[in-house]
Amino acid sequence: MDFSAIIPALPGLWEGMLTTLQLMVLGVIGGVVLGTLLAVMRLSPNKLLANVAATYVNYFRSIPLLLVITWFYFAVPFLLRAITGEDTPVGAFTSCLVAFMMFEAAYFCEIVRAGIQAIPKGQMGAAQALGMTHGQTMRLIILPQAFRKMTPLLLQQSIILFQDTSLVYAVGLMDFLNAARSRGDIIGQAHEFLIFAGLVYFIISFAASLLVKHLQKRLAV
């Protein structure tokens, strides 16, 4: 084993890590926003909205993420062509980002829904007794408390998404793992670069897990 070639390759690996982090951060933001909307729909007294959200969640939680990434890689350009009538170039990054947002929204939805249901129902009734609408109650009273309870779970799912970004190799996107693998193949040291990549993933994920445990104690009500 010779790891000396890793140091000269660090700039290229860092570019791959930036792609990985961008996918994770934007995927989490989009997934939480869409997941919150789905959670509110699932808890809505409107049966149509609740059923639509439940179907979405059950569907995306029942298929592999790799399949979703592949689908959106081919589907996003097709959908944009159907909407705009023009051939709009869509890179692998954009299609993978859409796939992560859509897929993770199903998991974030269940986390948010559990957080909302953990809030005593009496608070909803008290807010309505004060004349607040359902939307005002959710936005000003229920969701702020729910997000405090579910922050550790949201971060835990974000760690999983960070690890899952490695699946973008299927569409040729040069993330951290793909950059390490490619560099290792070029110079004939694939094992060393893959071991290094695994060590980096472990350090980041383990450190983030410790942060989640700390927040679970700090945010406990």
Instruction: Specify the amino acid at residue 130.
Output: L
Q: Is residue 77 part of a domain?
A: yes
| Contact call for residues 83 and 164 (beta carbons, < 8 A) | no
Is 215 within a domain? Answer: no
Burial 183-213, CB ≥16 within 10 A → b, else e:
bbeeeebeebbebbbeebbeebeeeeeeebe
CATH of the domain at 100: 1.10.3720.10
Has residue 61 been placed in a domain? yes
In a domain, 96, yes or no: yes
CA atoms within 13 A on the CB side of 154: 24
Residue 195 lies in a domain: no
**Strand ranges for the chain from DSSP E:** none
Q: Which of 194, 172, 198, 175 is closest to 185 using CA atoms?
A: 194
Domain range for 64 is 21-173
* Amino acid (one-letter) located at 22: Q
Please report whether residue 180 resides in a domain: no
- Count of domains forming the chain: 1
Residue 45: burial class (beta carbons within 10 Å; 0-12, 13-18, 19+):
exposed
In this structure, the dihedral spanned by the alpha carbons of residues 200, 207, 27 and 185, taken in order and rounded to 10 degrees, is: 10
Of 187, 165, 189, whose CA–CA distance to 178 is shortest?
A: 165
Q: Provide the strand spans (E) within 43-166.
A: none
Does a structural domain hold residue 188?
no
- Inside any domain, residue 116: yes
pLDDT per residue as tens, the chain (221 positions) = 777 888 888 898 999 999 999 999 999 999 999 999 999 899 888 899 999 999 999 999 999 999 999 988 887 777 777 777 676 667 889 889 999 999 999 999 999 988 888 888 788 788 878 888 777 888 888 888 888 888 888 889 999 999 999 999 888 889 999 999 999 888 888 889 999 999 999 999 999 999 888 887 776 65
